[in-house]
Structure 1
Amino acid sequence: MLPRRSVRRPVLLAAQCRTQGGLRDNGEISDISAEGCCLRMRGIYFRVGTRIVLRPQGMESMAGVVRWVSRDLAGVEFDRPIYGPIVDHIVSAHAT
């Protein structure tokens, strides 16, 4: 396993998720960095390599790929990193 490029920061942020196959579910982001997040889903389970579109509450959609899975948790790497000050704002608004 490769080390992360930046530290994940704890948050609690509702999110909607859609797979390329059309499955949709609501869940929550439990930590986030510019490059990715940990996502807890309620009804669908992912496989490593699954492409998803994630829409955190109050934000625009972002695409990514599932890099790891453990029960109802999935690690997502974003296709494009989030701008650092935006991550800071998300963390300050949704810190656990």
Structure 2
Amino acid sequence: MNKLGIAGSSGSACTSGSLEPSHVMRAMGIPYTAAHGTIRFSLSRFNTEAEIDRVIAGVPPIIAQLRKLSPYWSDSGDSAGKSGPAVKPEGAFAPTYA
């Protein structure tokens, strides 16, 4: 993502040294393997629509590339049965890609 000028992380700055998934995601009941795959973006009122569009276009190919490397992802598009499919908690934001 950095090569595309996109700044993202797997958690907050205070947990940057940890390999564990976000405690917030775990507290929301997100399965361990799904919580391990979350990306955190920080935005401000100065971000432009073009910047958001660049993230929306740039992140899915990166995700596809990382899934090819992951032992937790199968070709069938699931989490390979490691902890079941990721389930969106009621009321949680789930982005869609056009």
Range class of TM-score, shorter chain = under 0.3
Q: Highest Rg: 1 or 2?
A: 2
Greater share of residues in strand: 1
